[in-house]
Amino acid sequence: MKTDAELNGYERREKIYTLLKKANKLSVSEMAALFNVSDMTIRRDFHLMEEQGLLLLHYGGAVLKESHPAFREFEGRKDDFYKYKLEIAKCASGYISEGDTVYLDTSTTILLMMRYIPNVKFTLVTNSVPVILDAYTKNNIELFIAPGRYESSYGGAVDIKTLSYLSAFHYTKSFFGTGFIDSNFGASAPKENESEIKKAVIKNSDFCYLLADHSKFGKKAFAKFADISDFDTIFTDKECDSVYISELNKYTRIVTA
């Protein structure tokens, strides 16, 4: 079992949120001592958690905020599909190899890949703030951060500046989440700006991977960003309906985690 000092950013913030729900108020100094990290690290954690609607900052600490339907990386365990997302992310992370240039999407499932990133040197390009906060401490990752206006519903930057920046790179491997996936319509996102960013990265990628738990299948969101055949592999879980898997197998490879 990991000690508190060995936790990565994601795991640390999960534990902070659990403690906050119990105590309703935490101080920077007590959390820094508990996790054996600097006060600045805890302040960064608190600021991110505030942006995602989990807490409110006050002098020297934070208090619990009532939940709202914005993007929340830390409440994934409440999600009925969390265990499936975790297995999918674990499986997909094994596809990252030495020397890759990798894009990681703004997605709760993609974020979980950071728990299982292999110890190989690679370049990471991302617009996901939670991914950035986990990646910047890892010596094996050369990190490139996309600019743009932060949107809490995505946990990252999703605007025209983001699109322009991400369009300038060549990616050996790109990993995407999705709003929904339909065998005829393809993969789709709730908003057009998110869709356009995904399209641009797909265009510049050698290999594209889609991560989608079984709840995402057979539905359509507002903006299509890819055909099924645009993905080299789709990762899903064992609860995915065999009918969907059979249909999608006509266009690409399906891996069940």
17 confidence band (pLDDT: 50, 70, 90): confident
Q: Where in the chain is the domain with CATH 3.40.50.1360?
A: 79-256
- What does the pLDDT average to over 206-216? 96
Write down the mean pLDDT value for the chain. 89
CATH number for the domain whose boundaries are 4-64: 1.10.10.10
The percentage of the chain sitting over the pLDDT mark of 90, rounded to a whole number, equals: 68
Running DSSP on this structure, what letter comes out for residue 128? B
Of the candidates 94, 92, 88, 48, the residue with the CA atom closest to the CA atom of residue 71:
48
> Which residues lie below 8 Å from residue 52, measured CB to CB, with a gap of 6+?
70, 71, 72, 73, 74, 152, 155
CA distance 65 to 25: 10
CA dihedral 138, 74, 46, 48 (to 10 degrees): 70
The 10s digit of each residue's pLDDT in 143-185 is 999 999 988 778 899 999 999 999 999 999 999 999 999 999 9
22 confidence band (pLDDT: 50, 70, 90): confident
Question: Looking at 24-28, 63-67, 95-99, 112-116, which range is the least confident one?
Answer: 63-67
**Tokens encoding 107:** 């997605």
pLDDT top residue among 155 and 247: 247
pLDDT top residue among 223 and 48: 223
Residue 207: the pLDDT is 98
- What does the pLDDT average to over 188-217? 96
Q: Where in the chain is the domain with CATH 1.10.10.10?
A: 4-64
Of 43-47, 57-61, 69-73, 199-203, give the range with the top mean pLDDT.
199-203
CA distance 135 to 124: 8
> Which residues lie below 8 Å from residue 157, measured CB to CB, with a gap of 6+?
127, 129, 146, 147, 148, 149, 150, 151
CA distance 16 to 55: 11
pLDDT value at 5 more than 80: no
77 confidence band (pLDDT: 50, 70, 90): very low
CATH number for the domain whose boundaries are 79-256: 3.40.50.1360
pTM for the complete prediction? 0.75
